[in-house]
Structures are given as C-alpha cells and as structure tokens.
Amino acid sequence: MEHEDDFIERLSSGSAFIELSPEDCLKLDTILAHWPLSMSKIVGERKRLGRSPYLEKRKKLKRIQSFNEGLKKSDGSNRQSLPRVEAEKDESPNIFRKDTETWTLRFNGGEVKKGVKNGMALADIQYLFQHQNEEIEILSLPNNLGMKPRAESVPIATQDDYDDLKEQINKCQERKEYETDQDVRNDCEQMICDLQKQQSQNFEKYGRPRQLAGDLTKIIRATKGRVDRFIRKLRIDDDEPILPELATHLEDFLKIDEVCIYHPETAIDWDLGKSIST
C-alpha cells in the first residue's frame, strides 16, 4: 500500500490535470481534510524560509482535487476525453494563450503555468509575438487602438527664462553676502530657494528646458509601464516566481517605443490560441 508521503509526492510532482481512481480521490480528500491541522507549523516555516514547499504541494493537490470534482459532474464521455485534450493543448514548448478569463503561459519547454491573471500588457505582448520581427507602431497595439495623439512634446520654458532665473539667483546670492541685516539675509535665502526650485522644475541639470509630454509620449510611457509591471510579475508574484526565464527573454528581445518590435535571436513558434488578428 502506497505511503501517504509517497502519494503526496507523486501527485504534487505531476500534472494538475489527471484523472484519479475513486480510491485515490478518497485518499486525496482525506489528506486535504486533515492538512489544516498542521498549518500553524507550515505558516511558521513560510515566515522563516520565505516560501514553504508544503504550501506549494497543498496548492497543487487542491488543483487536482478541483479538476477531479469537475470530472465527476461531467458525463462519462467527457470524463474520458478531458485529460487527453488538456495534454494535447499544452504540448507546445512555448505558450502565450488566453483561456477565457485567465492565461496559460509556458516558455522553452518549461513548466506550464495556468490561471495567470489577465492584464492589458498580455494582449499587447501576444500581438507582438504574433508579428515577431515586424516593426509595429505603438498605436497599433490592441490596447492603444483608436487613440489619436493631439500634440507632440513641447518645452515648458525657454532658454531666455533659464538665463533670467540664473541672473536673479546670482543677484540674491550677492546681496546675501554683503547684507548685514539678518532678516534681509533670511529673505534672500528664501528667495534663492524658491528660484532654484523653479529652475529645477523647468530645466534639466545643464539648462536644457524640460519637455511637456505630448499625447504620444504619454501613450508610450503608459504602455512601457504596464509591460514592465508584467515582466516584474513573471519574476515574482505573491512570493512565487511565475516564469523568470520568460521575463529575461522579454527584457532582451521586446522593445516598446513609438515603434515596437519583438525580435528573438531565432524565430519562436508560439501557441497563441485565438490571438488578436491584424
């Protein structure tokens, strides 16, 4: 008879989409029913180590349990075919597919990650995967369609403004040096601080006027921001890495700018499911 620890190890190291025998289903239900009795020890270990392998196994067993409960509600023919269909769908070594409300991801033949939360960045990345090695205008990405930028970046101040501010600061500093009245010196100090603050808000370090972002610049910034946040999430999400290898790949070969491009060293055949068409 299989020992409980061996049973847990066998299930947690395999796919979450396997059909169990009635005996194994009963055994799994029993294990998960008494598992919370030792949760205080597990939570303590998680605080000490950062992430508990026991919690990871429990999450995997819960997914297997949910899958098999769904099979029980299905008719006999569906019950036999579902595991096979799931296996066929996930055979591709590279997957970036939306499944209703969540996504399935896989990179370079690694672990299949299901149930990844939806986000705007995923649709944009999927579109660039579909058009790899093609230059795509940022306004052609799915989440930017229909946007019509109205203005380019324009300076918020001129070089003359910079020269005037610099002259005023110099005058205040000169007066502060020879002034004997402390109140006047304090006023000069405050004036210098106000002028320098105005200078830093309107000019860069060497006097170049800062730019007031136009609509296109804002769109580029927003798109970069959501893609960067998704890449960080691939590295770690709720203390659990999703696909750090894919994060590195995107950092190396995905460019988001006015013209975007995904250019891997060698062409990659992505399983994109029902991806967004041109």
pLDDT per position as a tens digit, 203-246: 776 777 766 556 788 889 889 999 999 999 998 866 667 899 99
CA dist 63 to 13, 21, 31, 114, Å? 13, 16, 14, 11
φ/ψ of 113, rounded to 5, equals: -105, 115
Per the document, the length of the chain is 278
Nearest by Cα to 120 from 235, 17, 233: 233
- Same structural domain for residues 227 and 135? yes
Mean per-residue pLDDT for 116-138? 93
Residue 108, in any domain of the structure: no
Please state the domain count of the chain.
Answer: 3
> Is residue 272, in this structure, part of any structural domain at all?
no
Please check whether residue 59 lies inside any domain of the structure.
yes
Residue 230 lies in a domain: yes
Give the Cα separation of 60 and 32 in Å (integer).
11
Q: What angle do CA 98, 104, 109 make, to 5 degrees?
A: 135
Q: Is the pLDDT of residue 140 over 80?
A: yes
The DSSP code for 271 is B
pLDDT in tens, 7-43: 777 776 766 667 778 877 777 777 766 655 444 444 4
Q: Which residue has the tokens 């003359």?
A: 160
**188 sits in which H/E element:** helix 182-202
Written as one letter, the residue type at 123 is A
- Host domain of residue 140: 124-148+214-262
Cα 248 to Cα 234: distance, rounded to the nearest angstrom: 9
Whether residue 100 lies inside any domain: the answer is: no
Residues 143 and 52 in one domain: no
Instruction: Give yes or no: residues 15 and 67 share one domain.
Output: yes
